[in-house]
């Protein structure tokens, strides 16, 4: 199956930067879509950014111009560069990967999440 592991979260002051990483491993044939979601306390999980295998990106309005998503197909890694962080960016950030296994079955896998806290 597929394992998804995030890293790079932490505590940062407002205006600071963090870079999140997400590595997917397992019986992966291809990954068509990789994305970052976040969930703040008491709120629903929301899409932050995603990127296709062809490099097409999507950003939530709240992070446009501040966050950048990128991917490295070898080895199946996606990054989220977060600049000009605000307290409202505080949340647990989850990585999501969608693709095809070597068995030709589709997969849709999530990581365990990494905490990002923006506070002075």
What is the per-residue pLDDT for 45? 97
What is the per-residue pLDDT for 104? 86
Q: How far is residue 20's CA from residue 6's CA, in Å, rounded to a whole number?
A: 7
Instruction: Of 24, 28, 38, 18, give the one whose Cα is nearest residue 119.
Output: 18
Please report, for residues 51, 58, 95, 111, the alpha-carbon distance to residue 106 in angstroms, rounded to integers and kept in the order given: 17, 22, 17, 17
What is the per-residue pLDDT for 72? 87
What is the per-residue pLDDT for 103? 86
pLDDT tens, residue order, the chain (120 aa):
899 999 999 999 999 999 999 999 998 888 899 999 999 999 999 999 999 999 999 999 999 999 999 998 777 899 999 999 999 999 999 999 999 988 889 999 999 999 999 999
Q: How far is residue 8's CA from residue 21's CA, in Å, rounded to a whole number?
A: 6
Q: What is the pLDDT of residues 44-58, one digit of tens each?
A: 999 999 999 999 999
What is the per-residue pLDDT for 74? 73
Q: Are 40 and 118 in contact (CB under 8 A)?
A: no
**What is the length of the chain?**
120
């Amino acid at each position: 199956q597929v394992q998804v592991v995030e890293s790079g979260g932490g505590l940062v002051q407002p205006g600071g930067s963090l870079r999140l990483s997400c590595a997917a491993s397992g019986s992966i044939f291809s990954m068509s879509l990789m994305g970052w979601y976040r969930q703040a306390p008491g709120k629903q999980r929301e899409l932050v950014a995603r990127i296709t295998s062809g490099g097409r990106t999507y950003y939530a309005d709240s992070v446009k111009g501040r966050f950048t998503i990128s991917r490295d197909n070898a080895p199946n890694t996606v990054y989220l560069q977060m600049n000009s962080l605000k307290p409202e960016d505080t949340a647990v950030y989850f990585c999501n990967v969608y693709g095809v296994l070597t068995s030709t079955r589709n997969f849709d896998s999530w990581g365990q999440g990494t905490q990002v806290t923006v506070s002075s």
